Amino acid sequence: MQLWLIPILPLLGFLLNGIFGKRLSKPVINAIAVGSVVLSFLWVVKTLNALGAFSGGLEQTYKEHYYTWIQSGALNISVDFAIDRLTAVMLMVVTGVGALIHIYSAGYMAHEGGYYRFFAYLNLFMFFMLILVLGANFLILFVGWEGVGLCSYLLIGFYFLEKFATDAGNKAFIVNRIGDFGFVLAIFLIGFHFNTLDFTTVMTQVKSMPVEATAGIFTAISLLLLVGATGKSAQIPLYVWLPDAMAGPTPVSALIHAATMVTAGVYMIARTSQIYLHSPWALDIVAIVGLTTAFVAATIGLAQNDIKKVFAYSTVSQLGYMFVGLGVGAFSAGIFHLMTHAFFKALLFLGAGSVIHACSGEQDMRHMGGLRKYTPITMVTLLCGSLAIAGFPYLSGAASKDLILEAAYEHAPWMYWVGVFTAGMTAFYVFRAFFLTFFGEYKGKHAQPTHHDPDTAHQDTHGHGEPHESPAVMWIPLAILAVFSLGGGFINIPHFLEPLFPLQEGEPARWLEYVAMAAGLGGIALAYLFYVVSPALPESIANTFKGVHTLIYNKYFVDEFYDSTVVEPIVGGSRQLLWRVGDVRLIDGIANGIGSTARGLGSILRRAQSGYIRGYAAWVIAGTVLAIAYIGFMGASR
């Protein structure tokens, strides 16, 4: 099937644009960057069709072996690609949504410097993400895992002349390395315990082993894998990098930080589901981490004013729902939500980019309003995405989220109720953003950004006098994503994944669905009351509960807590201990001491090189006398 063609096409796009892009025109750069991803998507479709994925086939894993990478004793690690039904879902999401975002980027980035560099990085990301998904063993997955982390760093810090962008890139890179440390330890444990890193072999061995009654090797591996997943998929306590990642261009937020890279942790846990099923304790921790993250991120989203930050915290919260699904054993529901989330969250971010484009760089929703008469297409498509994430009945978000909530109720009813309350908050803050953006009167200054946010410094060069609709190259991808946001729930992913993740037996109570539905509709209605019917009400409530509002507006001061307890002690300790003691006193002391000693000896020996013959004669006579005396002494002692 030549699976290697799937990632190699974007890699070729990266090489061509990265090496020659500076000398190429924008249409050629677009053709290379967009064409490589579209071709990769078409090859995925052709491959899956040949394997029978679209007609009920692909019940067994299809694998291609290329060469042996590492051979050490009994441990044999090969470069192998493999496709099963889980891989098929991920490939369609990554290449399909990725192709649409590449097309959108051609319009959004049209006025930017470093145009070829942006698309080269974007293609490189696609290459590594596809390596991550296709890898048949943990080490190949880890190569892709680290590669997408590198590309995330490059793209978040794309506006490298701006300090906020470089700081955000550094933060994302460092926080993810903390998570990756746990992932590496898990890989070492797996290799040591199973003597292989191949997914199929490891999972086959695990199936034949008993479920742990107490914490053991499976729990240790599961928790270390979870550490890696919390970093990549922005879960508590390592979620703090994702909101700051909005410093990158908006298409980056849509592709990497909403639809693909941040779901890598979800994919990895689903891929290793057999290990987690053998450690019920670890599964409970996954569910609790996810539920806590979903709730906390949703509360923060209630008070954000930057439209991209609202959707960033929404991403963190929705990823939490996916972890809840995985943690309660509903792996297929978690992957189903991964897919529907890719549709509506990519749409929301790209729609936000269209709004920012319309407002010449403005991101603060308090300076927007009334955009429905300027950007009707953007408004309609964003409405589709907002309804989907809010859990409006029969739309994609409701279909997948309801399955997670129903499974959570079967596991522990309190999880269901927390999840439902979080769903209500989600509907509220998403429609808060929608109403603030499109309803009321326009409050912005034409073509004059009023604050310095990630996109402000570069968008204001568009020079438009008033808000305006985006070009077709931007709104056509929005329209396509809107269709999938509305109807993506009818793609029966849980049934498709049944050979990997058996469906839970029994029909859930209908009232569970109705309660979740009511929570979403209630959130929408409350947002309409607050921001359309009575716009003064939110400020009044914020003043009444000023302490609570301050707390969530400042994101619970988690960044400040990390700065005071982790960053500053490390920086201060490094300065005092490593620099002043280790570097200045120890290393410099040793080096300078050796130099001083050499200079002292040299000054003594230098006196022997006076240049006077009488002096040399005196040294010869003195040496001769000493030699004769030594010989005489040695002879007398015998």
Q: What is the pLDDT of residue 432?
A: 95
The residue behind tokens 């280790």 is 582
CB 263 within 8 A of CB 233: yes
**Mind giving me the DSSP string for 294-349?**
HHHHHHHHTT--BHHHHHHHHHHHHHHHHHHHHHTT-HHHHHHHHHHHHHHHHHHH
Q: Residue 12 and residue 186: Cα distance in Å, rounded?
A: 33
Which residues, including other chains, have CB under 8 Å from residue 573's CB and lie 6 or more apart?
none
Q: What is the pLDDT of residue 260?
A: 85
Q: Residue 607 and residue 305: Cα distance in Å, rounded?
A: 78
Nearest to 112 by CA among 457, 422, 538, 405: 457
Q: Residue 291 and residue 296: Cα distance in Å, rounded?
A: 9
Q: Residue 12 and residue 25: Cα distance in Å, rounded?
A: 18
Helical packing angle, 472-487 and 331-358, nearest 10°:
150
CB 332 within 8 A of CB 493: yes
Q: What is the pLDDT of residue 608?
A: 66
Helical packing angle, 138-156 and 115-134, nearest 10°:
160
Per-residue pLDDT reduced to its tens digit, 263-314: 999 999 999 999 999 999 999 999 999 999 999 999 999 999 999 999 999 9
Q: Any idea where the domains of the chain sit in the sequence? A: 137-553, 566-607, 613-638
Residues of the chain with pLDDT under 70: 446-465, 607-608, 610, 637-638
